[in-house]
Structure 1
Amino acid sequence: MPEWFVINWPFVEWLSPSLLLILGGLLLPIFRGVVQKVFLLVVPTLALLAVLGTAAGTHASVQFLNMELILGRADSLSLVFAHVFAIMALVGAIYALHVHDAIQHMAGLIYAGSAMGVVFAGDLITLYVFWELMMLSSVWLIWRNRRAASLAAGFRYLMVHAVSGVLLLAGIVVYYAQVGSLSFNVIETGTPAFWLILLGFMINAAVPPLHAWLTDAYPEATVTGAVFLCAFTTKTAVYTLMRGFPETEILIWLGALMTLWGVTYAVLANNIRRLLAYHIVSQVGFMVAGIGLGTAMALNGSAAHAFTHILYKALLFMSAGAIIHMTGRAKLTELGGLYRAMPLTFLFYMIAAFSISAFPLTSGFVSKSMILEAYADHQAALVWLMLSLASAGTFLSVGLKLPWFAFLGRDTGLRPREAPTNMLLAMGIAAFFCIFIGVYPQWLYQLLPHQPVGYNAYTPGHVFWDLQLLSFVGLVFFLLLNFLAPKDRITLDTDWFYRVAAPRAVRFIHQRGTVAWRSLLAALRWPLRRIVSQAMRYHGPRGILARTWPTGSMVLWVAVLLTISLLLYYI
């Protein structure tokens, strides 16, 4: 083996969680029928066991071209994300058991493994490789929906994330040129590499105005694919921001803006998955704001909220997916009265809705309140107020509007059967974690990066303030019920620029360009005719140069141009 490629990795460590998922995904299409379903469950189960058995330290390193690539750095920050990623991979696999689509299952496992590869990456090159693999695998979860809208949304998703990858790679190159190291830790503030890498991460975190790819693509994904999508991409970006950009002040205001931006558009949404997708933007905003503040309490709150968010957001998307799978409808204006036919789905949805709304005794309460408490301790009243308003808007849209018009409210006569057993089982597991973490938050707190946590969410002040806020929002909802009724339309966001403006610009340029090209040809018709006739005399089949240069006149001109270029270069 050449000296520039040396692996320092014990054999057992090849069975790392990320490689288990990726290799398992690649091997999955080999199997058929029941064996494939068993394999689909075994792979994420082994990955979860591998994460549970991973100790802190560097478990894998590769010497490549005088650079040390660290594929297996495990510490308190990476492990908290790895735990929830592994849980989510297993829950997502259970939810997708009824689907007969090997490509979709393969893409889901590779996507989950790539996300885990990002959180275990100890250097920027390794991170970049897994970052791009996430993009290439996740887009298939959109395309496999096999609709024209899904195909278009997938291509837009691919292009936006390609920009993210280019920015990240450019930042890595500049960073290596400046620092001479590829180690992924806190990035020095104010350098060109700082801003390039930050922008690359911000796109994947769906920070406005770079966020519309999420709300454009996720509603067009497959029912099971959307569950994977809502869990990994934005949360890997949250991890990278925590690792590389803590205490970056601009993230405070961008995070606060995200919370309100997502809530506002969610209230206007009619498609249930588009509504939930906007709440990914809003909830990630809480995490980004905590990272920007950068105190131990705020960073713990961001990590805890990422953990709880993955589980309750997946449960929300699983419940919405069950509705779409059983009714074939995704718009609130077409739904209603489903609690009669789908009582378990309704129950699981409400557990997730209470969690995202930060009701006491649910997981969202014990994580979101940490971020609010960090800002209260910091006496940042304006940001605290913005986050509190976003919390109120979350309950208004996810906890009241969606369940009222989808499950309760007017009866549209839909009488679907309950969701398949595997879907209900996956929703039940996620619902268990939503309640378990809310009742026993110490289980989550012991995983957080900054120890000891020393935080108690269940003080009388926290509980009473939260209940007062939620009660007031409930009153406002029923007073404004007619005003908040969904409208059968799509409210475009900044995706207007590439969904509407860009195609119009292309058509305009094409039409105008065609007219201009024809006018130019008409003006040059006579001189072009003279030039062509002269060229045919010397370069045609019977011309002098054709006999001299049997390979054709094009070779002659290429040779001339190359000769001139070389002369100019050496002169």
Structure 2
Amino acid sequence: MAELLLHPIVPMLLGAALVRVAPRAVGNVVMLLAPALALAAVWVLEPGTSVTVPWLQWELEVLRVDGLSRPFGIIFAVAAICAGLYGLRTQQASERTSALVYAGAAMGVVFAGDLITFFLFWEIKAVASTLVIMARRNARSGRSGMRYLFVHVLGGKLLLAGILWHWTATGSLAFDRFEPSAGAVLILLACLLSAAVPPMHAWLPDAYPVATVAGTVFLSAYTTKASVYALARGFAGWEVLVWLGVVMAVYGVIYAILENDIRRLLAYHIVSQVGFMVTGVGIGTEVAINGTTAHAFAHILYKALLLMGAGAVLYATGRSKASALGGIANRMRLVLGLYLVGALSISSLPFLSGFVSKELVVESAYVDERALVVLILQIVSVGTWLSTGLKLPYAAWFGTDGAGPRTNDEGHPIHVAPVPRTMLAAMGIVAALNLAIGLAPGLLYDLLPHPVDYQPYSVGKVLEKIQILLFTAFAFGLLLKKLQAKAMITVDTDWVYRRLPLVVGELGRRGRTAEAPVAAPAPARPALLTRFQAARTDVLARFGRDREGPPPVAATWTLGSVLLAAGIVLFLVSVVPS
């Protein structure tokens, strides 16, 4: 049981409690120290470590360290350190608490050896991430946060139903590879929803871009990657995942090319890049699982760097629409340079992290003789470089004004505020990690679940990738007028659950009007009810809208529908004979 005290969630949860009550100077230290201690704990725990605790009739394996969970635990701790440093000047105490609980719960997910522990941390992660989204405290983050919560409440109930069904059918709660069954399918659906597989993906570009600049960095690291881990643990080799992953990769990159909001563009690239990982899980070979793990590790780093760069632009200018930016390169040269490290990493430029991780997934498809999959993933890489490495930096930093003036005193319409040094330091650390992995792939390959017999730096592979990137850059220059940022709004599948409540409400209003054209005077509310509603409004305002009132938590048909659906699923599970 002594190993239980070394569980990485212990310093994270203690830190979350401390940053809520401690003075800000102490909170700054704790925000970096807690994940650093968690990283040390992961590093000390040897593969094969297992801790079980009795609960009712079961032995719960609350800590399991092996070749798959360890690299995810390491990168989750590193991401918390870097994101915490990035938000040192901007995050309030409540957001810091939510962020540390969120990161700690994600670690709990990857180190869970049984399905009950897995479910517990899965749900804590969903609630904590919702609070991270809503920490920006405006109307948009409040509404998006509630939509995010509704989706993940549904996913959690699917997960619970699948666990119960699996247990009644097999008598086991071990979190290992599942054989095809009804319970396993429900668990798979919950993981696919959390991994943002289309059409169950729209919660991600809806919610991530409306969080604070540091909150978005935290969000990019955990929810989808914990789901990738769960898929790799339970569903390696399921053929359907190969093609779901390919669809994700293509879908995300197409929407990213169309997108105008720079953080929403990067959110769509999370969908696309997670598609590579899901494809690797579906292939299921040792090479593919290594590629999935390596790509998840590197993606957390370069996606954090990209979102840090976009967040710095938002912090300095107050703008996130690419069509409203441009001409600020001379006043944000360091941010631009660090951002480009991330952009070149995600585009798989040799000697950066994406080249040694993403190409391992493509190699697994090649070895498995999946020529069509290889072709599609390579085409997606072109779209990634086009949107993330060319369109976004050109529009945000250069635009129609070129590099722009060097100061704010030269008549330029966009004012650029100084970027805090802690933000720049965090970006520098993440850029250095991307470069280190690219120059010394063994640093990453030694952490992977299986031995790696892959040499990324052959002359053919390097030349092929450089040719692809140069040709794409040349095409971008020729088609610049077509591809430059435009003021537009992309419509995605979230249109359904954004509009449906309005339609239902309008139909209900018309029905009531037809039945009772003359409205009766509203009865006076009891004083106790009035006080209760006022108190509820005050509490909810802390997590949602600032002065415009709280998001509609209690009085919403959507939440009721989700709970009703969950009840129906649980009822059906309970009556199915074991």
TM-score, normalised to structure 1, is 0.87
* Aligned equivalent of 1:5: none
Which whole-Å deviations, capped at 9, do the CAs of 1:535-564 have from their partners, x for residues lacking one? xxxxxxxxxxxxxxxxxxxxxxxxxxxxxx
* Aligned equivalent of 2:556: none
1:40 and 2:31 correspond? yes
1:297 and 2:324 correspond? no
Question: Which whole-Å CA distance do the structure 1 matches of 2:188 and 2:489 have between them?
Answer: 31
Which amino acid in 1 is paired with 2:146?
F
CA deviation after TM superposition for structure 1 residue 26, in Å: 1.8
Question: Which whole-Å CA distance do the structure 2 matches of 1:58 and 1:454 have between them?
Answer: 26
Partner SS state of residue 400, structure 2: coil
Identity %: 48
Instruction: Work out which of the residue numbers 83, 90, 93 in structure 2 matches 1:102.
Output: 93
1:111 and 2:102 correspond? yes
* Aligned equivalent of 2:65: 74
Cα distance, 1:487–1:503 mapped onto 2, change above 3 Å = farther
* Aligned equivalent of 1:238: 228
Which amino acid in 2 is paired with 1:422?
T
CA deviation after TM superposition for structure 1 residue 58, in Å: 3.5
Question: Which whole-Å CA distance do the structure 2 matches of 1:15 and 1:58 have between them?
Answer: 11
Number of aligned pairs? 510
1:484 and 2:454 correspond? no
Partner SS state of residue 477, structure 1: helix
Cα distance, 1:100–1:241 mapped onto 2, change above 3 Å = closer
Which amino acid in 2 is paired with 1:514?
R
Trace 1:374-393 onto structure 2 (pairs within 5 A). Answer: 374-393=364-383
Question: Which whole-Å CA distance do the structure 2 matches of 1:339 and 1:519 have between them?
Answer: 61
1:52 and 2:43 correspond? yes
* Aligned equivalent of 1:365: 355
Which whole-Å deviations, capped at 9, do the CAs of 1:114-142 have from their partners, x for residues lacking one? 00000000000000000000011111111
1:120 and 2:111 correspond? yes
More displaced 10-residue stretch of structure 1: 32-41 or 245-254: 32-41
Trace 1:89-238 onto structure 2 (pairs within 5 A). Answer: 89-99=80-90, 101-189=92-180, 191-238=181-228
Question: Which whole-Å CA distance do the structure 1 matches of 2:99 and 2:308 have between them?
Answer: 15
Instruction: Work out which of the residue numbers 4, 18, 22 in structure 2 matches 1:31.
Output: 22
* Aligned equivalent of 2:416: 416
Contact 1:58 1:70 survives alignment (8 Å): no
Contact 1:256 1:286 survives alignment (8 Å): yes
Question: Which whole-Å CA distance do the structure 1 matches of 2:460 and 2:300 have between them?
Answer: 27
Which amino acid in 2 is paired with 1:333?
S
1:507 and 2:505 correspond? yes
Question: Which whole-Å CA distance do the structure 2 matches of 1:13 and 1:218 have between them?
Answer: 33
* Aligned equivalent of 2:526: none
Which amino acid in 2 is paired with 1:106?
T
Which whole-Å deviations, capped at 9, do the CAs of 1:433-471 have from their partners, x for residues lacking one? 1100000001100100012x0100111121111111111
Q: Which runs of 5+ in 2 are unaligned?
A: 405-411, 521-578
Contact 1:342 1:417 survives alignment (8 Å): no
* Aligned equivalent of 2:547: none
Which amino acid in 2 is paired with 1:478?
G
Cα distance, 1:521–1:337 mapped onto 2, change above 3 Å = closer
Partner SS state of residue 72, structure 1: strand
Contact 1:80 1:448 survives alignment (8 Å): yes
Which amino acid in 1 is paired with 2:439?
V
Which whole-Å deviations, capped at 9, do the CAs of 1:177-221 have from their partners, x for residues lacking one? 0010100000111x1111100000001100000000000001111
Where relative contact order (Cα < 8 A, 6+ residues apart) is larger, the structure is 2
More displaced 10-residue stretch of structure 1: 407-416 or 241-250: 407-416
Partner SS state of residue 483, structure 2: coil
CA deviation after TM superposition for structure 1 residue 519, in Å: 8.6
Question: Which whole-Å CA distance do the structure 2 matches of 1:234 and 1:33 have between them?
Answer: 31
Cα distance, 1:475–1:100 mapped onto 2, change above 3 Å = closer
CA deviation after TM superposition for structure 1 residue 59, in Å: 3.6
* Aligned equivalent of 2:331: 341
Contact 1:341 1:417 survives alignment (8 Å): no
CA deviation after TM superposition for structure 1 residue 508, in Å: 3.2
Question: Which whole-Å CA distance do the structure 2 matches of 1:14 and 1:439 have between them?
Answer: 36
Partner SS state of residue 456, structure 1: coil
CA deviation after TM superposition for structure 1 residue 235, in Å: 0.1
Partner SS state of residue 398, structure 2: coil
Question: Which whole-Å CA distance do the structure 1 matches of 2:285 and 2:328 have between them?
Answer: 44
1:445 and 2:445 correspond? yes
Contact 2:167 2:173 survives alignment (8 Å): yes
Which amino acid in 1 is paired with 2:319?
R
CA deviation after TM superposition for structure 1 residue 410, in Å: 2.2
1:322 and 2:312 correspond? yes
Which amino acid in 2 is paired with 1:163?
L
Contact 2:19 2:26 survives alignment (8 Å): no
* Aligned equivalent of 1:287: 277
1:454 and 2:453 correspond? yes
* Aligned equivalent of 2:428: 428
Which amino acid in 2 is paired with 1:166?
K
Partner SS state of residue 331, structure 2: coil
TM-score, normalised to structure 2, is 0.86
Which amino acid in 1 is paired with 2:205?
T
Q: Which runs of 5+ in 1 are unaligned?
A: 1-8, 523-571
CA deviation after TM superposition for structure 1 residue 386, in Å: 1.1
Instruction: Work out which of the residue numbers 49, 64, 68 in structure 1 matches 2:55.
Output: 64
Question: Which whole-Å CA distance do the structure 1 matches of 2:6 and 2:422 have between them?
Answer: 28
Which whole-Å deviations, capped at 9, do the CAs of 1:83-131 have from their partners, x for residues lacking one? 1001011111111111251000001100000000000000000000000
CA deviation after TM superposition for structure 1 residue 507, in Å: 2.4
Contact 2:91 2:214 survives alignment (8 Å): no
CA deviation after TM superposition for structure 1 residue 517, in Å: 4.0
Which whole-Å deviations, capped at 9, do the CAs of 1:500-526 have from their partners, x for residues lacking one? 2x133222331243145439999xxxx
Which amino acid in 1 is paired with 2:277?
M
Contact 2:18 2:30 survives alignment (8 Å): no
* Aligned equivalent of 1:264: 254
Question: Which whole-Å CA distance do the structure 2 matches of 1:278 and 1:306 have between them?
Answer: 16
Trace 1:525-564 onto structure 2 (pairs within 5 A). Answer: none
Which amino acid in 2 is paired with 1:457?
P
More displaced 10-residue stretch of structure 1: 442-451 or 405-414: 405-414
Which whole-Å deviations, capped at 9, do the CAs of 1:148-181 have from their partners, x for residues lacking one? 1111000000000011100000000000000101
Partner SS state of residue 59, structure 2: strand
Contact 1:356 1:364 survives alignment (8 Å): yes
